[in-house]
């Protein structure tokens, strides 16, 4: 059975979010992910800035899933 198109995740351009909303989304993502950055420790601000750079370079995107009412940052695979 085909999926309902209204439940497909929606890409949210980071440029469409206010600075406060973008910061909130990225802080939530960084804190939730618990990403290992290797031996060097990074502050929350540094981690958020790292994700912002990925968004600007098109290496990541913000996605809203209406079915679960969640927002996430996902890595963009080359060619997709």
Task: Say how far apart CA 57 and CA 48 lie, in whole Å.
Answer: 14
- Is the model more confident about 57 or about 8? 57
Q: What is the pTM of this model?
A: 0.78
Asked if the structure places residue 1 within a domain, the reply is: no
Which tokens hold the place of 51?
């994700």
**Model confidence at 78: pLDDT above 90:** no
pLDDT reported for residue 60 = 96
How many domains does the chain divide into?
1
The model's confidence at residue 2, banded by pLDDT at 50, 70 and 90, is low
Domain that holds residue 69: 6-75
Q: Which residue has the tokens 């790292």?
A: 50
The CATH number given to whatever domain includes residue 37 is: 1.10.10.610
pLDDT tens profile 13-61:
999 999 999 999 999 999 886 655 566 788 889 999 999 999 999 999 9
Q: Considering only CA atoms, which of 56, 52, 67, 48 is closest in space to residue 10? A: 67
């Amino acid at each position: 059975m085909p999926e309902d198109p209204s439940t497909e995740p929606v890409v949210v351009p980071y440029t469409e979010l206010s600075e406060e909303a973008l910061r909130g989304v990225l802080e939530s993502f960084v804190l939730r992910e618990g990403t290992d950055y290797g031996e060097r420790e990074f502050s929350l601000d540094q981690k958020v800035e790292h994700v912002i750079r990925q968004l600007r370079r098109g290496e990541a995107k913000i996605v809203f899933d209406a079915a679960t009412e969640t927002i996430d940052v996902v890595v963009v695979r080359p060619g997709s």
